[in-house]
């Protein structure tokens, strides 16, 4: 079945780095754009970044621009999020999500999330 | 960037009630609006795309409507499994961003 599984979360000190991974299965990963979306404790959803199906374009939310980098390895069916210069406000559950095919610009498959805690 | 404002932020309703959640955009949306359902401790689930297109497997009691700057999600007869938080979402390519509303929590009365 179609599945996304995040990993790499944990507790990290402010200013340090962390890399998240998202393993995809059950669909042709290289045909889909992919997102990272986060949710701070008790808060709503915040879009973080998107990467096109071939990695040719990447876009970021304002709060992470210049600090986070999204990438993918289509040979490994894996999405990544490199997070640098982490701040307390980056503490959240991070979800990877698949962009729907077509023109709807929605996220039709989600992983279960991985928790990142930035604290000294 | 386009801002999305949902109302109400929370509501209490009973099983069988008709419930409507509104999402207002700060500018007209041309790329379509989506709705998601999220239950505590779970990932969001796509319910509706392109303003009113139902996702396969979503019960028919859910419907989406609206255009321009005002959109609605309606649950025609609330069921126990519908108690959750609902988010609207839109995409804009100038600048290239995806935006979520702040969420509407539907609670049991």
Cβ within 8 Å, pair A104-B96 = no
Measured between beta carbons, the chain B residues lying within 8 angstroms of A35 are 98
Q: What is the DSSP letter of A45?
A: E
Yes or no: say if B43 and A110 are a contact pair by the CB < 8 Å rule.
yes
Picking from B43, B53, B100, the nearest residue to A47 by CB comes out as B100
Instruction: Quote the pLDDT of residue B10.
Output: 97
Picking from A35, A59, A105, the nearest residue to B32 by CB comes out as A105
Give me the average pLDDT of each 10-residue run along chain A (120 residues).
98 98 98 98 98 96 97 98 98 97 88 98
Give me the average pLDDT of each 10-residue run along chain B (109 residues).
95 96 94 94 96 92 95 97 97 91 95
Which of these, B46, B64, B95, lies nearest to A109 by C-alpha position? B46
Picking from B89, B97, B103, the nearest residue to A106 by CB comes out as B89
Write the CB contacts of B3 (distance below 8 Å, at least 6 apart in sequence). B25, B26, B99
Picking from A44, A62, A107, the nearest residue to B103 by CB comes out as A44
Order across the sheet with B19-29: list the strands.
B4-7, B19-29, B62-75
Residue % of chain A over a pLDDT of 70: 100
Instruction: Quote the pLDDT of residue B30.
Output: 83
Yes or no: say if A34 and A22 are a contact pair by the CB < 8 Å rule.
yes
The distance of A44 to chain B (nearest Cα, Å) reads 6
Instruction: Quote the pLDDT of residue B109.
Output: 87
SS3 content of chain B, % helix, strand, coil (to 5): 5, 60, 40
Measured between beta carbons, the chain B residues lying within 8 angstroms of A100 are 46, 49
Yes or no: say if B71 and B32 are a contact pair by the CB < 8 Å rule.
no
Measured between beta carbons, the chain B residues lying within 8 angstroms of A103 are 31-32
Tokens representing residue B12 in the block? 């209490």
Measured between beta carbons, the chain B residues lying within 8 angstroms of A104 are 32, 34, 49-50, 53
């Amino acid at each position: 079945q179609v599945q996304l599984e995040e990993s790499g979360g944990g507790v990290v000190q402010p200013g340090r780095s962390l890399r998240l991974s998202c393993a995809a299965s059950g669909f042709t990963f290289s045909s889909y754009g992919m997102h990272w979306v986060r949710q701070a404790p008790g808060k709503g959803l915040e879009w973080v970044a998107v990467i096109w199906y071939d990695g040719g374009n990447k876009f970021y939310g304002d709060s992470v621009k210049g600090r986070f980098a999204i990438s993918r390895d289509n040979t490994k069916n894996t999405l990544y999020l490199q997070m640098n210069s982490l701040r307390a406000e980056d503490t959240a559950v991070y979800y990877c999500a698949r962009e729907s095919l077509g023109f709807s610009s929605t996220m039709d498959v989600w992983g279960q999330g991985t928790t990142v805690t930035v604290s000294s | 960037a386009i801002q999305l404002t949902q109302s109400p932020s929370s509501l209490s309703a009973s099983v069988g009630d008709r419930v409507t959640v509104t999402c207002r955009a700060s500018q007209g949306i041309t790329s379509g609006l989506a709705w998601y359902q999220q239950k505590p401790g779970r990932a969001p689930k796509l319910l509706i795309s392109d303003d009113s297109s139902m996702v396969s497997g979503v019960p028919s009691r859910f419907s989406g409507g609206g255009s321009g700057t005002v959109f609605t999600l309606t649950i025609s007869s609330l069921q126990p499994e519908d108690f959750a938080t609902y988010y609207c979402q839109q995409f804009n390519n100038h600048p290239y961003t995806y935006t979520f509303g702040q969420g509407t929590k539907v609670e049991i009365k």
